[in-house]
Amino acid sequence: MHDLDLLSRYAIPGQLRFRATPAGLAFADIDNPAGTASVCLQGAHLTTFRPKSQPEPVVWLSDAARLLPGKSIRGGVPVCWPWFGAHPSDSRLPAHGFARTVPWDVIDSGASAGVTHITLQLRPTAATRAQWPHDTPLTLRISVGDTLDMALTTRNASAGALPLSEALHTYFQVGDVAQVELLGLDGCTYLDKTEAFARRQQHGAVRFSGETDRVYVGTHSECVIHDPLLQRRIRIAKQGSASTVVWTPWEDKAAAMGDFTAHGWRQMVCVESANAADDSLVLQPGQTHTLQVRYSAEAL
């Protein structure tokens, strides 16, 4: 549980305020002249983002999302850490790690040049130490303006080298996933999770006509979602990320997952900036790594 009185020292009048839901989750709501966003302190999970230049949100949240203690949220920007996907050796541990389902602390906030920022730090608990018995301070800085900037920083403060895989698992809002094109991955190699991780090569833009679940490896360049229905382009720029994960569940899988509405899956596509599979990291003692993204939208 977060204490709203303690959080109030990070509030910024007219730009950043904190609230608690009846279910007991705390949120930071940001609203400035350039953009709006909400961040759930459980998971440091950004749930919404809309630049004020856009009529529609850029980050999608399922209408059926369950905002409950200990549960991952369908939509927004889940933080997958310290492993991406299945745990490399222990199948009892949760997919995508534990960072997205535990409380984080707010450690900083501020405003400058039309941008409001908040920094959160993962709060280790006995339950997280049981899954990851290492000293690795983790912070996420979120900056909201006309663009959304996020920086996920891991420091290895332990005595040994540590394996790390991670992602900012962002759900982008689109008019209809069947009509969008994803540019920026032409020629890249990907592992196809729908075909037992078969290695394939991308030719041209990515188009969607069924369940798609791919880890593109060795890719650092910007991706662009071209959306003819919403008449806009979303740009996804990144640093410190060598993999791009592209995921859409399509109809049957979305129905089985339960936290999608009947047609909700059509209004999203995940383009995740990651270090996963071939690009998983090894952090040496004392080493710091930052995965950074910038999301922006412009009219076609």
Q: Which of the residues are catalytic?
A: 169, 272
How far, rounded to the nearest angstrom, does the alpha carbon of residue 219 sit from its chain's CA centroid? 17
Q: Please list every residue from 117 through 136 that binds ligand BG6, using CB under 6 A.
A: none
Out of 2, 50, 117, 169, name the contact with ligand BG6 by CB under 6 A. Answer: 169
* Nearer of residues 128 and 158 to ligand BG6, judged by Cβ: 128
Q: Name the residue with the smallest CB distance to ligand BG6.
A: 247
Distances (CA, A) of 175 to 60, 104, 219, 227, 291: 11, 33, 26, 7, 28
Considering the rule CB under 6 A, would residue 155 count as an interface residue with ligand BG6?
no
Q: Please list every residue from 24 through 63 that binds ligand BG6, using CB under 6 A.
A: none
DSSP secondary structure string for all residues of 72-94: --SBSB-EEBS-SSS-SS-TTSP
* Nearer of residues 16 and 40 to ligand BG6, judged by Cβ: 40
Total residues in contact with ligand BG6, by rule CB under 6 A: 9
Phi-psi region of 106 (alpha: psi -120 to 50; beta: other; left: phi over 0): beta
Q: How far is the CB of 222 from ligand BG6 (least distance, A)?
A: 20
Build a one-symbol-per-residue string for 248-287: x at contacts with ligand BG6 by CB under 6 A, - elsewhere. Answer: ------------------------x---------------
Q: Which of 151, 149, 152, 76 is nearest to 113 (CA)?
A: 149
Query: How many Cα atoms occupy the beta-carbon half-sphere of 141 within 13 Å?
Result: 16
- Token pair of 58 as six digits: 């850029």
Give the C-alpha separation, 300 to 296, whole Å.
Answer: 13
Give the C-alpha separation, 148 to 99, whole Å.
Answer: 20
Q: What are phi and psi of 52, to 5 degrees?
A: -70, -10
* Nearer of residues 72 and 109 to ligand BG6, judged by Cβ: 72
Q: Please list every residue from 80 through 99 that binds ligand BG6, using CB under 6 A.
A: 95-96
Considering the rule CB under 6 A, would residue 247 count as an interface residue with ligand BG6?
yes
Distances (CA, A) of 123 to 8, 79, 98, 118, 126: 19, 14, 11, 16, 10
Q: How far is the CB of 159 from ligand BG6 (least distance, A)?
A: 31
Build a one-symbol-per-residue string for 177-216: x at contacts with ligand BG6 by CB under 6 A, - elsewhere. Answer: ----------------x-------------------x---
Binding positions for ligand BG6, rule: CB under 6 A: 72, 95-96, 169, 193, 213, 245, 247, 272
